[in-house]
Structures are given as C-alpha cells and as structure tokens.
Structure 1
C-alpha cells in the first residue's frame, strides 16, 4: 500500500467512524439508564458501593462518584478551580481578585510606527525584528466609545483616550467564554507589583547526586544497565512484577527505571473512561509485600506518584532503598530504538552538556535538569548584577500569570475558514523554536501601567513599554474585513483553554505579551485596534541567555554528530540526545511557570482524607487522594520568563523577519484560508513555500508534504494521521531526488 491508497482508505474509515458514532450514541443511552438505576439503588439505606459495583459492571470509585454518600467522609471532588496559597504576613499581599467584566474605556494605542520612533525602539530592543515584521502603511487609530457598557466599581471609570471617540463595528456574537482575572484597582493592585521578601534564585553551592538508571522494554523484557543487557520475565508488567524482576538481577543502587517501550500503565486502558484513570490504577496497585509508596525523601528528592496520562512517575521504597519508574517519553520519542540505544543517547547527552557544565547531572526529568543547569549560570562573582539572585514575583502576580499566560498555540481550523477539499498539505516546523526567544526577559519587580499612565506617556515611552518584557490586559477589536487567522489569544470555555478570534468587528478582553501586541499593531495586513486596560512592564535583562546559549551549542554538536556518525546506532543515539537537549530547554522554560503544587497520598478505607482533598482512586483497602496546595515558596519560580518566551514564540509563528535573508516568514505571510492548523511550533498549510532554512533555531523546516488533493482534517487525530502521511511522502520524494 502506498501513501495515496492509504489516504483513500481513510475515507472508508470515516464511514466506519459514523457507524461507530451511532453505536456510541446507543451505548450512551444504556449507560445513562444504568447510572440512573445505580443512583436510585444507592438511596437505599443499606446500600453499599462494593455490592452495587459488580452488579453494574463498575469499579467502586465509579459507584462512589454516582452516589457520593456511599464513599468515605472525605469530599469526592475538590475545589472547582485551584486557589492560591494563603498570603503570608511577610508577603505584603492581598487575596487575588476574581474575574470581572471590564467595561471602562482603556488607553488606545496610537500609531507608533513613524520612522524616528522605530529607530528609537531599535536602540532599546536590538533584536526587535526577530519578533515583528515590517510595519504596514499607517492607519488612523481612534478611541472607542462605551455608550452601552456598564461601569464596574473595580475599574477606573475614566480611561485615557489619545484621540477623539469614533464609532466602531458592533461586536460579533460569540459563545460564552471564561473571564480572566484582573489586577485590583488603586493601591490594592499596586501592592501586587512587588517581589516576595527573602526569596530569590541563587547559584547553588552543592553538586547534585547522580542516580544510577536502567532502561527497560516491557514488551520484550530487555533490561539494560551500564554495559549489562539481560532479558527478564515481567509477567503482566504490573508494578510489583517489574520491581521484583528488575531487582532480582540489578543492585539496589539503581534508583531510576526508564520504560523505553510498552507503556504498561495503559494495559487496562479499555476498562477506564480516561487514560489518566488507567494510569492511576496501575500506579496505585499493591507493589508487593516489601515495597510501599514513597512518603518523603531528602531535600533534593521528590515523593509520591505523578499521575500523567502518557509520562507518569511512580516512586516506591523498601527500607532505605528508593526507586522510581518513569517514561523515557519525557525526554524524547524513542521510535524503534532499543534500550541499549536509549542508554547510549543518555550518555551522548551527558557528554555534550559536560562540555558546558562541569558538574552536570541528568536528573529524572528534562524540566528538573533544565532548571538545575540554569541555576548554575546565575552570576556568582561579587559585584556582578543579580549576583544576589533573581527576585521572585509576588504570589499574586505569579497567580495572575498562571491564569492569563497561555503556552504554545494549538488550533485546528475548519470550514469555512479553510476549503473542504485541500489541494495539498504542507507541514512547516520551527526548529528548536523556544531557543530563539530567550535573549531578553523581565527581571526585578514589575512596573504597573494603568490606562491613565499609558495615555500620559510620550510616544517614545509607549513604544519602549510595548517592546520591553511586558504583559498587558487589553481590549481588542479585529479589523472589519479581516480574512486571515486570529492574532491574539482570547479565553475560551474550559480550564486554561484559548481561542484566536478572527471575525472582523469582534471585540474581546484578554491578556497578551508585548511581542504579540506588536504583531497585532504592525502585521503586514492591517493593524488591530488595541486599548490598554492594565499592564506590567519589567526591566529588561538576560537571565536565560547564557543557559540557552550553552544548550544551543550542545544541540548543534549533537545535530552534527547525528548527521556525520558512521554507525547507524551512533547516529540514532546522537539524534535522540539532541532531542533531549530540546526537551531540557522546552520543559525547563515550562518549569519556571511553577504550576500550583498537587500533593498526592493514601489513607486506609475508613479514615478521612485531608480537608479539601479530591479522591482519585479507591479499592477494598486504600483511598488515593490528591490536593491542591497552592504555590510553594519556590526560589526558581519565574512565570514572567515563561510567559515572555511563549508570547514571543506565538508571535513568531505569525510573523518574523529573517534578517540575514531579508525575508519575512510566518502564517500572516501565507495566503488567507491556506492555514489548516497550528501545533505549538508548526504551521500546516496548503501553500507550498520555499522559505530559507539554515538549520538555526527558529528557522522553518518543511517537515511533511502531501502533494495530492485530500479532505482536510476535522479532528486532532486526523491531523496527526495526515502529519504521518505527509512526513512519509516527503521522505519518499527526497529519496527519489537524492
């Protein structure tokens, strides 16, 4: 079967899919009837979950979810939304204000694109052309009227306008979306713009302890440790069987077992509605008579399980021996590589990093490794700027950034935004993209910019503020007649969900970084209308520059080795190692964002879980719970850096300038209605363009190409299927022309 026949087969598969949907609808009806009966029977005074469960064909926890009164006294579900940790007396902080409807006018951003101001901006931010494209012809920007808006007590009633009010198109009706939080008005909000006392990122004065690791393929039973390769009998590959088999042949000093293939935590996925439930059940199964879930460890060690649908982490102990089982998928996609090749990849990764960090230790995850390596680039020389450490933002600002700074752009466009039938599909992927956006980041306490303060600035000061590391609350209006993709993220229904409005005349309120605002104002098609409602501007620094530079050099070395190595296994090991460097930077940046901490634990059936805990698993003997404990006093929490990198990457996905080639690239430089999807660093388009590619971070690489007509993807799974076909088809074309 060739790729074209495979595509035709997808059409047949879609018809089968429709039949499955009909069957699923019938199943849903039966399921609803079953749940109704379980609920009715659960009202009986002597009903018990362990009797109802087998009769209904459900797990006990599923029955408890339907009839909470049959469960333990601990609450079955936690808070609807994570709450920040309580303010501490030394934080000088106040509780974060809830989301609120912003109706007061803001300060309209005027036309700041005159040549002398552009030159001034270039002096302030030398690499600004990496973020925004050549300005479009000047367009008059006026203030917006608020005749029908309701005034909100927490927002200044008088916004500063820069020009006379003018009528704008009525907003397009859109589905309800969640509202984002705001900074409180007045002095209460000003208190947020501070740093946390006695908390800063400083260079460590210790060396991490290396953990001995092994690599296990649970489909074949092949186990690799150092130069030793053995085959073990894993049975059904439960936790107990893996631990017993591994430590029957390896010493207790091995503390980390990487699963390279098999995903044993998905073995019973068909019995659970969500992958996460299957993973939780696998992790929480009895680990044997001598092992127990790890409860606590030393300062640099973590405890408890991490329930992740694809890359979970399980931690156990017996006496003084500790171990963890992890997925190597945290680091890179293994493909067909065997455990020995994966071991070689980790060796190559360590060697490449050793050239830049003499004390490098590969920790359990790329995120942990990335942040540890970063701390070892913090200035330590007496008198150097930030030698005393990089201060951590107030808990309120960290909470605000957590709620309002999205990550990579993931969007699938459907008809009528794209044709039903596509003439072709091309995948353009940005190489090592995030490394391109680490040259400048915000440091120190942020400066708050209210609408009044922004309106009082000179044009040069406004330009400098918008090009500085910054995060803005804005009211946005899409230009009338706009026919291209959306530019700025807007909150969508669902937790941490984002959409990108593109309907002409639509108005919405959101938060966005300065990089994205500059694309909206200076894109090559038409400027968007931006009103400043609030803003945070940081002093520009380069806390990530040295770290990123070293990682880029390690990545380049491994890329070269992968291309030139004479041995196939050596080439694959170097290639995987280069992907590991990418993960260190990618997840290291994500680690700075510091999500609210989730704590897991267990109690025997009959005992209460902690207040506010959510029950995530239950069997005859044990209740598994998790609890949101808010933000910790993490000295390396810098969500302002993560937000800046993510904003820059989303902006460059739309428009960026390749100065060495004097060409602009990005989605806004492709024809309207040619964009099919965005996936973090990649554009899927019907336009077959030949953008320059030098293999540098941020360059667009053509990674896939389906050169024949096909139906456009309608789901994420269909897009991934098209992606695989396109990469295979492009490889065949490249081989044919080689």
Structure 2
C-alpha cells in the first residue's frame, strides 16, 4: 500500500480550509465506523443463534473480546432465557428443593440438565441458581471425575514481564470517618455511642439516618442484609438489599455483592453540587467469623489498629483502607526501599504457578487409619503461620532448570537448587516400606491429595522445602523441570512491622480490662488478617468483579454476564485483573509450600512425622489434630511455631469435615 505524501498548506487561509476538510472526513469516517459497528453487533447476535456458536470464536472473527460478545443485548437475553429455562426444569425435576411433582419424562436439553443437577442433589448448604455456566462449574466439583493432569512448563516463557515491576509507590490517604453499628440502630462514631432511629434493615433506612460525616459504616452482629427464614439464598438476600430503592439524591456505586461479606457503596449529590460517598461493610470483612456484637468494641479496635499502623508506617497519610488486602498492599508499598524494584513474572509463568500451587493441606484420616474411639484429641495450631514463613523469597529473573541440566549437575549444585527458591515439576515414588502420611501434593479426583501407598508413582509440583523432606525420608524424586530464583527479602520489613503491631495489640489485650481488652484482641486479629490476606492477594489473578447497576446502560462494557432483578436493577459480573504491582504468585506459592512442609517437619523436631500415623487425625492448613499430647508449646507466641490450642476426649473419630469442625470448635471453646 502506497502512503500519499501530505503537503502542508503555505498560507493561513489554506491551512484553515484543510482543517475543515479533514474535520468533515473524520465525521464521515466516524459515521461509517458507527454503521459498521452496529452491523457487526447484529451479525454477532445472529451468530449466537446457531447451535454450534462459541463466544470465543465469534469474538475472534469479529475482532472484539468475548466480554463484548456477551454484552450485546440479544446474546445476553438468550443466556438469561437459557438459565431461566434450566431453573424451571430443575425445579420440575425436583432437584432444587421444589415440591412440584416431576414429570414422568424430560426430553432434550431439559433432560440433560436435570440429569446433571440430579448428580449434585443433596449437597449441603444453600444452592445458588444464577445460570447454566454455574451449574457446569458446580458439576465439575460435585460429580465424580478423574484427577486433573497438571501441566509442565512446556512452552511457557520463563521470563519476567518487561516494564512491570513492584516499587516504592503509594498514594497519600486522607482520614475517613468510620462508624460501627449494630442492626438494632446502636452506633458509635468518634468515640460517642448513641441510638439511631433506623426503620428497618434496608440500605435506604440506614442512609436516611446516617450522620452526615460518616464515610464508612461497619456492622457487627447479624448482617443486616440477611433476612432470617426468608427461604432465599444468601446471594439473593444480598442482591435484594443492594438493589432496593434509595432515598432521594442517593445512587448506587460499584458494590461488591459477596454472599457473606458484601461491600456496598453509595453516593449522594446535594443541590449545591456537593458529593458524599458512603461505604457499608461487615466486620467479617476483616475478621471472618467474628462474634463481636458490641459496636463500641469494633470502633475502638479500628481506632487502635489505625494508631498502631500510623506509628509503624509513617504517620500522616497512612490510613486503614477498605479491606485487609488493600490496606496490607498499601503498607507494603511504603516499605519497599528507594531505587528497589521487584519484576513481575510473565503472565504465562504467573498462571502456571497459580495452576500448580495449592494452598493449605486439608486431609482427614478416618478409621481404620485411626481408632474408631479416640482416647483423646489434641488441637495444635501454628501461631500466625504465614508471618513466620515470609523470610527470604524468590526475586529477580527466573531461571529454568531442565531435567538434563539437573541430572548433569554436581550433587552440591543440586542441593543448592532444591534448598533455594524454586518450583519443581517432579515424578515421585513412595518407598515400598512407607507407613506414614504422604509428603508431596498431587492433583486428585476431589482436589489436592497426598499419595502414601507404598510403590505408587505420581507426578507433582512442589516447593524445594517439600522435596527436601521427601528426599531426606528416602523417597525417589525425579526432577522433570523447574524454575529457580535468587533469594531476596521483599516482605521482611513489612512483615516485621505488622508482627510488631500484632504483638503490641496482643499484649494490650492481656494487660487491659473490659471493653479495651476486647477491642485490643479484635485489633490484633485485624492486624493478622492484613498479613494473611495480603499474602493471599499476591496469588490472585483477579476475580469475577460483581456489581449492581440501576440501568442497563450503566453496565460496564467488560461485563460478561448480566441479569435484571425484579426491582429493575441489573446485576453483572466482569473479569478483574488485580493491580499488576501486586501480582507475585511466586511469593505466595513459596509461603504455601513452606507451610505444608512445616506441618510435616519443623524446628526442634516438631511436626507430623514425629508421631506415628495412627496418632494423626487431620491436617487443616496450618493446624493438625492428634491423639497424643506431644508437649509442643509456644509460650512466647513465636510466629510459625506450633502450640496446643485445645484438647478433649475420649471422643468418636470424626468421619466428615462437619464432625471435625464441630470438635475443633468445642476444643477452642473449652480453651
């Protein structure tokens, strides 16, 4: 194609004429583009009517994204009609708790959907019924299936994402007026407690009476958005609460409609042009399962946490943000040294790490592995586990180590690699005389499992600390591929400050009394959440961002699913990529691997391998249940060390997770 050389006019008048012609040409081009875009959308909607239609293929052919394909109204309506049809047929089939007598015979797609749903009938807990895609996902986890084959490195680019780094960068935060309230209208703000004349549990009822300066409202006790005995799912309760009519002048912002811990955002525009934003959340956002019901305790806990954070992280401009994760990320960014950068891995390598790295180890040993009647049960918990495991993490450029390179290296170099910072794809064989728990994780039919059958060979991805334990115990481990990094200390300063805050608040809870002791204990748990949730955030690839919009036009273009509620508002979902500065799954995967290794063998001979198999009842992330009193203690509350948290007995051996959790809760209550 030949590009016509443009000649600039020689006079002012000629230049103005050229600008007018260019303006008209642009208008014609924009009109043509609008017409072609409308025609493209019609073709997309038409393509979606065919049985073989696939969103990704249509998007590629149209030169757009799958999100845009799903956003087109006829396509979205077809999806909603399919979901509604599936729900109706599911109710007829009697698999969603309906009392309707199922028809004698279902045919076609309805029969296939009913058959799938029947396989998950009886799964405990509230059933969500938002759409066909979610049925398929649920079926994946509930129906019997073979183990998932974990990928190797293959063609994954083992490199960094050029131009993307974590560095010392943050925004000076302004103070936010926080109030804590109970559903009955008791509220505490700026240290003063009073009663609000709230009429009902709706957002509108609270916004009408909320003091003018409140920017964040934190509920304690029973969540106001859940209606007792409503017969609805928790998700439906939250959706109804968020989408209910609002007082004059108020509009909905971008809510986070989580079924248990939603965050609601509202905005008010005054007649004078002023704007006011209010965020509403529950204390469970900070401390899941918190039993605090007194708003005074919660308010003083936020105050203690804020003062402690400001003391350790820089005073003015440091504030408690909307969640433990965002607060922790902001605080970490402030501790990165000047002129220090931590490169992000390539998107493909990040995804490989996430895919091949589980988190905690959850395993229940039932009879005959343990006696049907346990003489006693002892609950051991790893104190502030992740805080004790965030030292020395992988930094810099990743280096791939192939099987050939590993085998040809000297044993000293091999040990250096394994003991360093890395992720390893291995083929492991359980020794023929093995009589203890499994040591390495692999993908199983129902999630992560830990093979221990003598002679079994399997492939796995594991951290160096896990592989080192297996090698020391006589397992045969063949390195198939791996990635290593240099060791750095990206989180040490941040970790030390958070741990210091946690210790100070814990000490305050021991020395204070009454309200202030409760508040300090709660604030210590909130500080713990900051570290735990931030480490988890490094592993995140983003999540389905949910929201509620008052009109269809307000649905973001990135939404891939939208449904209209009975009130006329729209609920939608869109993919969300977390801020790129905090995408470090290589760090979280290293911490997770160390925790699984710590369960097996830790400092001073503490760990599951120090007791017989018959004494191990369960592993639960950073805790274990044993039938023996091992004497493990952690009197000075050192992070990463085990302590006995409770004991009871004799008891029947638990045979389900529900029974195990009931025993755990009983031991914690007893302690």
Partner of residue 238, structure 1: 202
1:475 to 414, 420, 427: 427
Partner of residue 323, structure 1: 278
Partner of residue 675, structure 1: 616
Partner of residue 657, structure 2: 716
Q: CA deviation at 1:79?
A: 9.6
Supply the distance in 2 between the matched residues of 1:39 and 1:618 (Cα, whole angstroms): 28
Partner of residue 259, structure 2: 309
Partner of residue 568, structure 1: 514
2:381 to 429, 442, 451: 429
Cα deviation per residue 1:12-55 (whole Å; 9 max; x = unaligned)? xxxxxxxxxxxxxx975974965769988999xxxxxxxxxxxx
Cα deviation per residue 1:710-738 (whole Å; 9 max; x = unaligned)? 11223333222212222333x3xxxxxxx
Cα deviation per residue 1:152-179 (whole Å; 9 max; x = unaligned)? xxxxxxxxxxxxxxxxxxxxxx971112
| 5+ long unaligned stretches in structure 2 | 1-92, 111-127, 139-143, 270-274
Answering whether residue 153 of structure 2 is matched by residue 180 of structure 1, we say no
Partner of residue 544, structure 1: 491
Supply the distance in 2 between the matched residues of 1:546 and 1:554 (Cα, whole angstroms): 13
Q: 1:240 to 1:539 in 2, by over 3 A?
A: same
1:705 to 631, 636, 647: 647
Partner of residue 614, structure 1: 561
Partner of residue 383, structure 1: none
> Aligned with 2:614: secondary structure?
coil
Choose 685-694 or 352-361, whichever is displaced more.
352-361
Q: CA deviation at 1:65?
A: 4.4
Q: CA deviation at 1:636?
A: 2.1
Q: CA deviation at 1:399?
A: 1.1
Supply the distance in 1 between the matched residues of 2:416 and 2:596 (Cα, whole angstroms): 21
Cα deviation per residue 1:656-698 (whole Å; 9 max; x = unaligned)? 01xxxxx310111122122212222111111111113232112
Supply the distance in 2 between the matched residues of 1:40 and 1:228 (Cα, whole angstroms): 64
Structure (1 or 2) with the greater helix fraction: 2
> Aligned with 1:650: secondary structure?
helix
The answer as to whether partners of 1:420 and 1:711 remain within 8 angstroms in 2 is yes
Supply the distance in 2 between the matched residues of 1:334 and 1:534 (Cα, whole angstroms): 44
The answer as to whether partners of 2:170 and 2:333 remain within 8 angstroms in 1 is no
> Aligned with 1:271: secondary structure?
coil
Supply the distance in 1 between the matched residues of 2:392 and 2:521 (Cα, whole angstroms): 29
Answering whether residue 216 of structure 2 is matched by residue 256 of structure 1, we say yes
> Aligned with 1:356: secondary structure?
helix
Cα deviation per residue 1:616-659 (whole Å; 9 max; x = unaligned)? 66325233121225x456122111111111111111111101xx
The answer as to whether partners of 1:603 and 1:609 remain within 8 angstroms in 2 is no
Cα deviation per residue 1:190-213 (whole Å; 9 max; x = unaligned)? xx2221122111112641223221
The answer as to whether partners of 2:394 and 2:488 remain within 8 angstroms in 1 is yes
* TM-score for both structures, normalised by structure 2: 0.75
C-alpha root-mean-square deviation of aligned residues, in Å? Answer: 3.1
Supply the distance in 2 between the matched residues of 1:454 and 1:472 (Cα, whole angstroms): 11
> Aligned with 2:593: secondary structure?
helix
Q: 1:269 to 1:656 in 2, by over 3 A?
A: farther
> Aligned with 1:563: secondary structure?
helix
Q: CA deviation at 1:595?
A: 2.5
> Aligned with 2:517: secondary structure?
helix
Partner of residue 665, structure 1: 606
Q: 1:414 to 1:374 in 2, by over 3 A?
A: same
Answering whether residue 312 of structure 2 is matched by residue 356 of structure 1, we say yes
Partner of residue 500, structure 1: 450
1:266 to 212, 226, 247: 226
2:480 to 524, 533, 536: 533
> Aligned with 1:264: secondary structure?
coil
> Aligned with 2:148: secondary structure?
coil
Q: CA deviation at 1:240?
A: 2.2
Partner of residue 578, structure 1: 524
> Aligned with 1:445: secondary structure?
strand
Supply the distance in 1 between the matched residues of 2:669 and 2:135 (Cα, whole angstroms): 45
Q: 1:633 to 1:30 in 2, by over 3 A?
A: closer
- Matched residue count: 548
Q: CA deviation at 1:377?
A: 0.7
Answering whether residue 600 of structure 2 is matched by residue 600 of structure 1, we say no
1:199 to 161, 164, 168: 164
2:241 to 270, 282, 305: 282
Supply the distance in 2 between the matched residues of 1:32 and 1:651 (Cα, whole angstroms): 50
The answer as to whether partners of 2:541 and 2:578 remain within 8 angstroms in 1 is no
The answer as to whether partners of 2:546 and 2:574 remain within 8 angstroms in 1 is yes
Q: 1:180 to 1:268 in 2, by over 3 A?
A: farther
The answer as to whether partners of 2:220 and 2:292 remain within 8 angstroms in 1 is no
Supply the distance in 2 between the matched residues of 1:282 and 1:263 (Cα, whole angstroms): 11
The answer as to whether partners of 1:348 and 1:577 remain within 8 angstroms in 2 is yes
The answer as to whether partners of 2:633 and 2:644 remain within 8 angstroms in 1 is no
Kindly indicate whether structure 1 or structure 2 has the higher relative contact order, using CA contacts under 8 Å at least 6 residues apart: 1
Choose 606-615 or 434-443, whichever is displaced more.
606-615
1:70-469 equivalences under 5 Å are 176-185=146-155, 189=156, 192-204=157-169, 206-218=171-183, 220-245=184-209, 247=210, 250-251=211-212, 253-267=213-227, 271-273=231-233, 275-294=234-253, 304-319=254-269, 320-332=275-287, 333-359=289-315, 360-380=318-338, 387-469=339-421
Partner of residue 79, structure 2: none
Q: 1:590 to 1:611 in 2, by over 3 A?
A: closer
Supply the distance in 1 between the matched residues of 2:547 and 2:284 (Cα, whole angstroms): 25
Partner of residue 594, structure 2: 648
Q: 1:426 to 1:598 in 2, by over 3 A?
A: same
Q: CA deviation at 1:409?
A: 1.9
Rg bigger for which structure? 2
Supply the distance in 1 between the matched residues of 2:552 and 2:165 (Cα, whole angstroms): 43
Choose 206-215 or 458-467, whichever is displaced more.
206-215
> Aligned with 1:265: secondary structure?
coil
The answer as to whether partners of 2:350 and 2:585 remain within 8 angstroms in 1 is yes
Supply the distance in 2 between the matched residues of 1:330 and 1:286 (Cα, whole angstroms): 25
| 5+ long unaligned stretches in structure 1 | 1-25, 44-60, 67-75, 82-173, 295-303, 381-386, 658-662, 732-738
The answer as to whether partners of 1:600 and 1:627 remain within 8 angstroms in 2 is yes
Q: 1:373 to 1:34 in 2, by over 3 A?
A: farther
Q: CA deviation at 1:447?
A: 0.5
Q: 1:36 to 1:325 in 2, by over 3 A?
A: farther
Supply the distance in 1 between the matched residues of 2:229 and 2:651 (Cα, whole angstroms): 32
Supply the distance in 2 between the matched residues of 1:675 and 1:592 (Cα, whole angstroms): 32
Supply the distance in 2 between the matched residues of 1:592 and 1:500 (Cα, whole angstroms): 25
Q: 1:620 to 1:325 in 2, by over 3 A?
A: closer
Q: 1:504 to 1:375 in 2, by over 3 A?
A: same
The answer as to whether partners of 2:426 and 2:480 remain within 8 angstroms in 1 is yes
